[in-house]
Amino acid sequence: MKRLLRAGQTLLRDPDAFDFVYIPDHHDAQIQELAFLLQGAGPRNAVLRGPPGTGKTTTVRRAFSELTGEFIPVYVNCRQNQTLLAVYRCIAKDLLGYASPSRHLDDTREAIAARLGEKDARLLVCLDDANYLIAAGTYNLLLYQLLRLYEGWEEVRGAVVFAVTSDLALNLYAEADASVRSVFRPAEVTFLPYTKAEIRDILADRVRYGPSFPCEGSFEKNSNRMAAGIPAALVIEFG
């Protein structure tokens, strides 16, 4: 079979636009809101709520990538990390650049505090799928410890927490104990499902950044399917 591409070549003009974590340009308002919450002397915590597939995780990642200054952002997948030790080891790995050699919670927290003190930085933690922490029974204690981090180490400021959930029936603020709510007080950032017009724009971007050869008719064909209510997992047809 004849080889059509040389090594390193791609059929796509911009492969990054097809990456799983690529963010369509439809969440500027939420990114600006998250950035605003981190301004000033008293940065605010946040709860990000919306159905699955509405861009919550990728928006947080983009907001984190644009941060400068006092914050060290850390992303924690709470589906995979539900115990206190698992969450703290995930935080420590990001801060230290390697997995904490200790399996003891106190040692891991000490290493985190020491690194924050060295950098004179504030910890910013995204707890993605935070509802899994509630089921695991670790939600309240973890929030309490993170938000009051300064109580154990004088040189360390309290962390800022972005808690993310796709469970629309769950109120993450109400699930917190009174002692946690007194310091949590999150702003709520809402993510709505993409409208048909937004989906059409996203598909148009995929065509613009996609195949480096003509594919007449494929965009209109898939756009019509979308308008008819076909699920968003569309396959672009070439030819």
Spell out the domain ranges in the chain. 1-11+194-239, 28-190
pLDDT reported for residue 79: 96
Whole-angstrom distance, CA of residue 201 vs CA of residue 50: 20
CATH superfamily of this structure's domain 28-190: P-loop containing nucleotide triphosphate hydrolases (3.40.50.300)
Burial of 117 (0-12, 13-18, 19+ CB in 10 A): middle
Residues 6+ positions from 96 with CB-CB distance below 8 Å: 111, 115
pLDDT reported for residue 218: 55
Spell out the alpha helix ranges (H) of 121-217.
131-136, 139-147, 178-184, 196-209
**221 is written with which tokens?**
């064909």
Whole-angstrom distance, CA of residue 16 vs CA of residue 21: 9
- The answer to whether 81 touches 90, Cβ cutoff 8 Å, is yes
Digitized pLDDT (tens) for each residue of the chain, 239 residues in all? 455 556 555 666 666 656 655 555 567 788 889 989 998 778 999 999 999 988 899 899 989 988 877 899 999 999 999 999 999 999 999 999 988 888 899 999 999 999 999 999 999 999 999 999 999 999 999 999 999 999 988 889 889 999 999 999 999 999 999 999 999 999 999 988 877 887 777 677 666 766 655 555 555 555 555 544 544 444 333 33
pLDDT reported for residue 91: 96
Whole-angstrom distance, CA of residue 63 vs CA of residue 37: 11
pLDDT reported for residue 213: 55
